[in-house]
């Protein structure tokens, strides 16, 4: 349903490739604004499918199914970047794909991504392409140790990467990544990790959610804090880096730029995610416009919404580990009045699996962190002040 200036108006159908929690929150935002949502993935009864109007179960490489799916929608987006470029090309035969498949092609492979960033002059960690054991040995000689070896494709949440402390560890590291095409990155002694979630509209307009600080545990995002405790100079630089990347890739939609802030106050781009991002989940409760509504606005040609942060906020992931001794104590957590609970509708809880998150609002970022960590501890009977109850 197209309106003036190519706007895809409320009442239209938005198609989502992928069916996880990002699609779920996107679908909630879209349905609230009067859009219908269809989702396609290899699974059934998915987090997105539970709230979508139509759930299509098909493999991403079933291009006939992808074409049929695209015929029934007005625009296609994705919440999962490990979708083959062929699938986005097939979908584009029948509906606009936003962000475009070319963005996905660049960002789903670390070597292509690093090549784009370095070629465009963005600050990145020193890196080298690795396609053989000999390449790895030569790259380590050039970059030094310690270093981090990452598979070029299909990696997230610390998967497909290994730290190398010495040359003696080279054979084991190469075996650990399965002898796949990889990238070796110099180890960065960073002060903190930050991200900028931003959006670019169909008309080239730009909006961002500021700088968010991210704390990880076992290579998985644990807590995000907004606003990040960085200088105004770093904040400006981070936003301008994000703007340049979105413009350089001609993104229409939301993209997250993950960065290291070094101990000498320099920013280095680590990774790109061409979709809403875990670190931006707190925007669902803490901002005038969430990252999910912003994604919808961008891909449908609507004006981007205000990204004003209403109060300082912190988000804590809820991993499947919390279910180890039975169901978490939801009433205990809900006694925290400024904490919002989000569960993703996943049937099976497994260690390391993202099952939901909590967002806390407070007067200061530090207070928000204390509140959200306390509320998460209450799920398993831990009093943050006095220890386990």
pLDDT on residue 102: 93
Whether the predicted pLDDT of 173 surpasses 60: yes
Q: How many angstroms separate the CA atoms of 292 and 299, rounded?
A: 11
Is the pLDDT confidence value at 171 over 60? yes
Q: What is the mean pLDDT of residues 346-373?
A: 97
Give the pLDDT score at 387.
54
**Sign of the four-CA dihedral 164, 167, 168, 172:** positive
Q: 369: phi > 0 → left, psi -120 to 50 → alpha, else beta; which? A: alpha
| Whether the predicted pLDDT of 167 surpasses 70 | yes
Separation between Cα atoms, residue 241 and residue 120, nearest integer Å: 11
The rounded percent of the chain whose pLDDT value lies above 90 is 89
According to CATH, what is the number of the domain 126-186? Answer: 3.30.1490.20
CATH T-level assignment (fold) for domain 4-97: Rossmann fold (3.40.50)
Please state the separation of Cα 87 from the chain's center in Å: 20
Residue 6 has pLDDT above 90, yes or no: no
Which two three-digit tokens encode residue 319? 């991993």
Give CA–CA dist 37/11, Å, rounded.
Answer: 10
3-state secondary structure of 314: strand
**217, 222, 228, 234 alpha-carbon torsion, rounded to 10°:** 50
| Ranges 41-45, 191-195, 382-386: which has the least confidence | 382-386
What pLDDT, on the 0 to 100 scale, is given for residue 20?
96
Q: Which of 33, 28, 35, 31 is nearest to 13 (CA)?
A: 35
Instruction: Return d(Cα 163, Cα 123) in angstroms, integer.
Output: 22
The average pLDDT across 251-268 equals 97
358 three-state secondary structure: strand
Q: What is the pLDDT of residues 59-103, one digit of tens each?
A: 999 999 999 999 999 999 999 888 888 999 999 999 999 999 999
Q: Tell me the pLDDT band of 112, cut-offs 50, 70 and 90.
A: very high
Superfamily of domain 190-388: ATP-grasp fold, B domain (3.30.470.20)
Sheet holding 220-226, edge to edge: 267-273, 253-262, 190-200, 206-217, 220-226, 313-319, 354-361, 339-343
Beta-bridge partners for 124? 269
The two three-digit tokens of residue 151, written as one number: 């598979």
Domain boundaries, the chain: 4-97, 126-186, 190-388
Q: State the average pLDDT over residues 6-15.
A: 96
Q: Tens digit of pLDDT for each residue in 231-258?
A: 999 999 999 999 999 999 999 999 999 9
The answer to whether residue 1 scores a pLDDT higher than 70 is no
What count of residues does the chain have? 389
Asked if residue 386 has pLDDT above 80, the reply is no
Question: pLDDT tens for residues 119-160?
Answer: 999 999 999 999 999 999 999 999 999 999 999 986 555 567
Helices then strands, counting H and E runs in the chain, come out as 12, 18
pLDDT of residue 353: 96
CB 198 within 8 A of CB 255: yes
Query: Rounded CA gap, 150 and 348, in Å?
Result: 28
Say how far apart CA 293 and CA 230 lie, in whole Å: 27
Q: Residue 199 forms beta bridges with which residues?
A: 207, 254
How does the average pLDDT of the chain come out, rounded? 94
- The string of pLDDT tens digits covering residues 328-341 is 999 999 999 999 99
Report, in this order, helix, strand and coil percent for the chain, each rounded to 5: 30, 30, 40
């Amino acid at each position: 349903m197209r309106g003036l200036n190519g706007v895809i108006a409320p009442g239209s159908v938005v198609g989502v490739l992928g069916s996880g929690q990002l699609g779920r929150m996107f679908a909630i935002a879209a349905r609230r604004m009067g859009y219908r949502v269809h989702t396609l993935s290899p699974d059934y009864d998915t987090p997105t499918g539970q709230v979508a109007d139509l759930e299509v179960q098909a493999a991403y490489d079933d291009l006939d199914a992808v074409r049929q799916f695209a015929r029934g929608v007005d625009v296609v987006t994705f919440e999962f970047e490990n979708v083959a470029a062929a699938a986005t090309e097939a979908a584009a035969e029948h509906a606009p794909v936003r962000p475009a498949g070319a963005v996905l092609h660049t960002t789903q492979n670390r070597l292509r991504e690093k090549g784009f960033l370095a070629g465009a002059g963005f600050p990145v960690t020193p890196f080298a392409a690795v396609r053989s054991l000999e390449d790895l040995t030569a790259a380590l000689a050039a970059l030094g140790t310690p270093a981090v070896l990452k598979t070029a494709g299909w990696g997230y949440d610390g998967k497909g990467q290994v730290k190398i402390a010495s040359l003696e560890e080279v054979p084991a590291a190469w075996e650990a990544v399965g002898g796949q095409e990889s990238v070796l990155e110099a180890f960065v002694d960073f002060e903190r990790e930050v991200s900028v979630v931003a959006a670019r509209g169909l008309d080239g307009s730009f909006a961002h959610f500021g700088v968010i600080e991210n704390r990880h545990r076992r290579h998985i995002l644990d807590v995000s804090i907004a606003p990040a405790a960085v200088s105004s100079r770093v904040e400006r630089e981070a936003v301008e880096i994000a703007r340049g990347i979105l413009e350089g890739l001609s993104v229409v939609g939301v993209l997250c730029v993950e960065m290291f802030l070094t101990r000498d106050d320099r920013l280095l781009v680590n990774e790109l995610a061409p979709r809403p991002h875990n670190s931006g989940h707190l925007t669902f409760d803490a901002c005038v416009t969430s990252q999910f509504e912003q994604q919808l606005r961008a891909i449908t040609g609507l004006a981007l919404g205000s990204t004003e942060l209403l109060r300082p906020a912190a988000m804590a992931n809820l991993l499947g580990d919390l279910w180890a001794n039975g169901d978490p104590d939801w009433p205990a957590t809900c006694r925290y009045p400024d904490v919002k609970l989000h569960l993703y509708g996943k049937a099976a809880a497994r260690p390391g699996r993202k099952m939901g998150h909590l967002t806390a609002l407070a007067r200061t970022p530090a207070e928000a962190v204390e509140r959200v960590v306390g509320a998460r501890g209450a799920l398993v009977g831990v009093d943050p002040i006095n220890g386990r109850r």
